[in-house]
């Protein structure tokens, strides 16, 4: 419990740091045994498409085992004009420590795909966004004790106002360990929380 509180404080400090930046978005999501803090900042515009630098901290405490993953990513989003579907792609690095039985170090670099369906730009005009992201670090780009990393998330968010959204998301993490017996760490969770835009 103490470690979870510590990770929450670290995450909140990260939230405060991101909130000090211009044109930033940050989110905080929780469940009974999980915590996710994420943020992103627009850093450049390429051919009219914004380039974002982002990061996240995922913490899981189950069966008295503390697991954590920290990620940093750089992605380009197709947002040069308002439309119902926006896609993006980029690269992500993920590091951490997982404990399926023993403690293993995780590190991988891979490809990130993101997508957003904005119902405000459809005939329904609902202030709802559906977001998804997929990350994969193949064996050739996985290091330390890691054989490969896969994660996927999908969420639905209701816009309370132009600067804030509340919603739910479902996350899946799958880390294969490059050790005898091929152990793996799998985590799936439903989280609730909010996002703020600056």
Residue pLDDT, tens place only, 5-30: 555 555 555 555 544 555 688 899 99
Please, what is the end-to-end C-alpha distance for the chain in angstroms?
Answer: 32
In the CATH hierarchy, which top-level class contains the domain 2-197? mainly beta
Please tell me whether the overall predicted TM-score, pTM, comes out greater than 0.85 for this model: no
Cβ partners under 8 Å of residue 84, min gap 6: 117, 118, 119, 121, 122
Are 193 and 167 a contacting pair, CB within 8 Å? yes
What is the pLDDT of the chain when averaged over all its residues? 84
Give me the residue spans of the domains in the chain.
Answer: 2-197
Condensed to tens digits (0 to 9), the pLDDT of residues 122-169 reads: 777 889 999 999 999 999 998 888 899 999 999 999 999 888 999 999
The SS3 call for residue 48 is coil
């Amino acid at each position: 419990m103490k470690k979870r509180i510590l990770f929450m404080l670290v995450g909140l400090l990260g939230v405060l740091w991101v909130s000090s930046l211009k044109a930033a978005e940050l989110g905080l999501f929780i469940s009974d045994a999980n915590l996710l803090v994420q943020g992103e900042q627009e850093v450049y515009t390429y051919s009219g498409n914004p380039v974002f630098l982002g990061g996240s901290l995922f913490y899981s405490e189950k069966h008295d085992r503390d697991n954590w993953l920290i990620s940093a990513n750089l992605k380009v989003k197709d947002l040069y004009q308002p439309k119902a579907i926006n896609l993006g792609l980029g690269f992500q690095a993920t590091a951490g420590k997982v404990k399926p039985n023993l403690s293993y170090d995780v590190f991988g670099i891979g490809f990130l795909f993101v997508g957003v369906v904005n119902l405000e730009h459809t005939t329904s005009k609902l202030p709802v966004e559906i977001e998804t992201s997929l990350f994969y670090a193949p064996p050739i780009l996985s290091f330390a004790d890691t054989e490969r990393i896969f994660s996927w998330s999908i969420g639905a968010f209701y816009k309370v106002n132009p600067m804030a959204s509340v919603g739910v998301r479902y996350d899946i993490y799958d880390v294969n360990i490059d050790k005898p017996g091929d152990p793996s760490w799998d985590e799936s969770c439903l989280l609730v929380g909010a996002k703020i835009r600056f």
